[in-house]
Chains A and B, each alone.
Chain A
Amino acid sequence: KAGVTQTPRYLIKTRGQQVTLSCSPISGHRSVSWYQQTPGQGLQFLFEYFSETQRNKGNFPGRFSGRQFSNSRSEMNVSTLELGDSALYLCASSLGRFEGQETQYFGPGTRLLVL
């Protein structure tokens, strides 16, 4: 079974621009979570989607948004990029939100550099 895929793998943007990252979960997985990883802050939870609905959200500004499609693929968008948004963005998928379905499997990440 194919793992979690993320595109693109690397991205360079300038301040003020916006960016969209894509995540395809493992086949059959319905829950997708996004994380931001930086050397200073570690792994921080951005949001989780299940059945096309955002179920949980971390403590990030409204510039960070996402969505999930009917095939469980997810996108996250960051508008008005700031230098501090430079990070590795990780997507993780799991079967669902019920007990026994919680194990998260991670993609390789998208490394975003904001200049």
Chain B
Amino acid sequence: GAVVSQHPSWVICKSGTSVKIECRSLDFQATTMFWYRQFPKQSLMLMATSNEGSKATYEQGVEKDKFLINHASLTLSTLTVTSAHPEDSSFYICSASSGGATSGQYFGPGTRLTVL
């Protein structure tokens, strides 16, 4: 149980284009989904928290107009990196939680974004 998928697993795009990453909880309803970014040899950095049907809450320093998050259903959240630049190249990982203080987060396999 507690399987989270992400698509695509990797993407290469040109600078200035937008990239959409999907995160799905396959066998449970995720009341909350989280988006992280991780640069090589660095720790996870939480970007935003999204709850189904409401606006995402962004962490300090994360541009909400650049990283658009939509949590359309209890099993799907999307992250769109708009007008991507080389400095946005990173490993983007989503996680999902069924809610509550005792629920762990289950991570998707991650999406490696390379912006040329």
Do A and B interact with each other, yes or no?
A: no
B residues lining the A interface (CB < 8 Å): none
A residues lining the B interface (CB < 8 Å): none
